[in-house]
Amino acid sequence: MPKAARKFYAVAVGRDGPKIYTTWDECKEKITRYPSALYKSFPSQKQADEWLASKVDSRARSRPASDLVPPDITMLPPRDPPVSQEWDEEDSLPLSEPPSVSLSSEQQEVLDRVKQGRSVFFTGSAGTGKSVLLREIIKTLQERGGLAITASTGIAAVNIGGSTLHSWAGIGLGDESWKQYAGKFFGQKKFRPVLDRWRNVRTLIIDEVSMIDGALFDKLENIAREVRHNEKPFGGIQLVLSGDFCQLPPVPGRDKKGQQITPVFAFDAKTWHACVGSPVMLTRVFRQKDEAFVDMLNAMRFGQIDAKAVAAFSTLSRKVEYADGIEPTELFSTRQEVDNANASRLRQLNTESHTYVASDYAGVDSNGHPITPMQMSRLLERLVVQKQIHLKVRPILISPTVLRQALVLQVGAQVMLVKNLVQGSLVNGSVGQVMRFSTAEDALKEHTNIAGVDRGERPRLPPSGFVWPIVRFIGGQETMIIPQEFTINNANGETEARRDQVPLILAWALSVHKSQGQTLERVKVDLRRTFEKGQAYVALSRATCLEQLQVLNFDASKVQAHPRVLEWHFGRRPATTSANEVIELFDSDEEADSDVAMSAYYNI
């Protein structure tokens, strides 16, 4: 094996102040769990000295750290205290959680970079506030215009109020060459709106970029340069990319015959580095406060499961009892398991039940054409509110553009809120139990909270004559939950489909795919089931504390990151991806939930 080239690790902000180290181990000791750490590796001492001199200034200050980061990732320096965010009343029922939090210094630095018009890929372990930051970036850039909000999968796109990258880019299945696409965009009238989108965009946001195939990234980069007649990387479009390669692997592409092509990670795309440069690592973990837990999750993330870590995870197999009757949500890798678990628990209840009928509306696609009922139901498949009630759904066609689907709820049912209703207390992921049903008028008289309804002189109530569920959430808060709007946007930001429904799903069980991005207080995971590497990490990292996490059948082989991701992370970068570097996807015999994401991804 060739000997690794010597490196010099310059630490500008670290445990022992500015200094140059000659081994990564020494450097790591000074920057691990030091969140504002600023460091970089160099091939020569001179370069390291120069960089250090340019970086060391009065801003260096100590703070506790919480993550392990690779040596070739440039950390952002700390900055002045962030400006606190105002909660906009008009957004009281938003699609995505508005930031009532102050951005951390590293989050703020990314935002500033974006405001300066620079491209950025920011990443970080689960719970480091990537979603919070992305929402703030969107809010900031939306005012400026020229913004395209996209994500690799439909479900991720809904979460940020955008469309899929495929849909925005107008590439259908993505199986043609960039030249063919560029030819179509220039030559065919129906692609005029697509051409306009490519030409007018200033900033392209791509969330969950870890699921974008490297070959697809290169294809889009070529299209961008061609259609914009601009030879700058990505045709001069500012890229804002977010995601975590340790969590979800790329979606495989397809060839002309519909056969899956082995995917490569986006960071292995030929044009990746020229487009986004070094990644920015968010290091401060917000979801978990317990440092021991953060360390255990990092051990999983970086494949450092030693005997001590195995022992620590194994202690989590005990049953956790809760006095309030709300059980931990069990995470499964397949939809089938989730549906079975929830249905069997629901069957055991012999209590009052009510059926809620969702109203679904069709809008227009990005060419201004009306959406057909079939397209609408396929789009609405992306909504979490629909999937979880799979077994209880009875679709009834009531008009060409309005479909109805039913959600059955019972007293005693464990449910989860799937929309942010009250910042900080009733958010997407809040779990509770249905206590009773009541009309909104009675709830007002009894002084029961009604989510999203202001108790003014003339509160806006849902239609009278109906009863709505009153849910007691973890922590004891009782709130009536009434229907909310769920909207899916087309590539132009117009409504493509909409569903009005009570924003609850059954929550004894939940799929990992739908738990993605959520914070769950009580979690149970049985790793004997069909969990794969990144998927198991996503599942365990939803929990906020060790005390309320139960892990059965801990298996170190199921929780480690992909070797290629580790190579990339720690700075070993082979020139090309070899043929035997097949990215493992979920190999369950049953339909894995990632397949749902994949079909949403392709069925545009």
Ligand X SMILES: Nc1ncnc2c1ncn2[C@@H]1O[C@H](COP(=O)(O)OP(=O)(O)OP(=O)(O)O)[C@@H](O)[C@H]1O
Residues annotated in a binding site = 124-131
CB-wise, 192 or 289, nearer to ligand X?
289
Residues written for the chain: 604
Distance, CA of 393 to CA of 261 (rounded, Å): 35
Q: Is residue 130 involved in binding ligand X (CB under 6 A)?
A: yes
Q: Which residue in 40, 182, 160 sits closest to 96, CA to CA?
A: 160
Q: Which is nearer to ligand X, 102 or 425 (CB)?
A: 102
Residue placing its CB nearer to ligand X in the complex, 104 or 164: 104
Q: Segment near ligand X (CB under 6 A), from 99-107, 163-171, 559-567, 582-590?
A: 99-107
Measured from the CB atom, the residue of 228 and 569 that comes closer to ligand X is 569
Residues whose CB falls within 8 Å of the CB of residue 342, separated by 6 or more in sequence, listed in order:
388, 391, 506, 507, 508, 509
Q: Which is nearer to ligand X, 298 or 438 (CB)?
A: 298
Measured from the CB atom, is 111 or 132 closer to ligand X? 132
Quote the CA–CA distance of 122 and 407 in Å, as a whole number. Answer: 38
Q: Are 461 and 493 in contact (CB under 8 A)?
A: no
- Minimum CB distance to ligand X, residue 81 (Å): 12
495 pairs with which residues across the strands? 489
Contact with ligand X (CB under 6 A) among 55, 287, 387, 558: 287
Closest CA to 118 of 241, 28, 211: 241
Beta bridge partners of 406: 357
Q: Applying CB under 6 A, does 132 fall inside the site for ligand X?
A: yes
Does 129 sit near ligand X (CB under 6 A)?
Answer: yes
Sign of CA dihedral 439, 443, 445, 450: negative
User: To the nearest whole angstrom, how small is the minimum distance from the Cβ of residue 517 to ligand X?
Assistant: 4
Say whether residue 153 binds ligand X (CB under 6 A). no
Token readout for 595 is: 């397949």
Which residues does the annotation place in the binding site for ATP?
124-131
Three-state SS string across 89-124, please?
HHHCCCCCCCCCCCCCHHHHHHHHHHHCCCCEEEEE
Of 301 and 382, which has the nearer Cβ to ligand X?
301
Among 41, 66, 104, 484, binds ligand X (CB under 6 A): 104
Cα(279)–Cα(70) distance, integer angstroms: 10
The three-state DSSP-derived secondary structure of 344-402 is: HHHHCCCCCEEEEEEEEEECECCCCCECCHHHHHHHHCCCHHHHCCHHHCCCEECCCCE
Q: For residues 75 and 426, what is the distance between their CA atoms, to the nearest angstrom?
A: 34
Comparing CB distances to ligand X, the nearer of 120 and 126 is 126
Q: How many residues bind ligand X (CB under 6 A)?
A: 19
CA 41, CA 56: separation in Å to the nearest integer?
A: 15
Q: How far is the CB of 287 from ligand X (least distance, A)?
A: 4
Q: Of residues 369-428, which lie at the interface with ligand X (CB under 6 A)?
A: none
* Bridge partner list, 471: 434, 479
Residue of the chain from 131, 388, 535, 560 that contacts ligand X (CB under 6 A)? 131
| Contact criterion met (CB below 8 Å) for 544 and 287 | yes
Question: Per-residue string for binding with ligand X, 541-570, x by CB under 6 A?
Answer: x-----------------------------
Distance from CA of residue 20 to its chain's centroid?
36
Q: Which stretch binds ligand X (CB under 6 A): 15-23, 97-105, 211-219, 352-360?
A: 97-105
Among 127, 154, 279, 363, which residue sits at the site for ligand X (rule: CB under 6 A)? Answer: 127
Provide the minimum distance between the beta carbon of 416 and ligand X in the complex, in angstroms, as a whole number: 15
Positions in 491-520 near ligand X (CB under 6 A): 517, 519
414-417 and 504-506: which strand pairing?
Answer: antiparallel
Query: Which parts of 522-541 interact with ligand X (CB under 6 A)?
Result: 541
Nearer Cβ to ligand X (175/244): 244
Candidate residues 24, 286, 361, 570; the one interacting with ligand X per rule CB under 6 A: 286
Which residues are CB-contacts of 121 (< 8 A; sequence separation ≥ 6)? 209, 239, 241, 242, 243, 276, 277, 279, 280
Least Å distance, CB 88 to ligand X, is 17
Q: Could you say whether residue 294 binds ligand X (CB under 6 A)? A: no
What tokens appear for 376 in the block?
């609408």
CB of 40 to ligand X, least distance (A): 23
State the minimum distance, in angstroms, from the CB of residue 218 to ligand X.
Answer: 25
Residues binding ligand X (CB under 6 A): 101-104, 107, 124, 126-132, 244, 286-287, 517, 519, 541
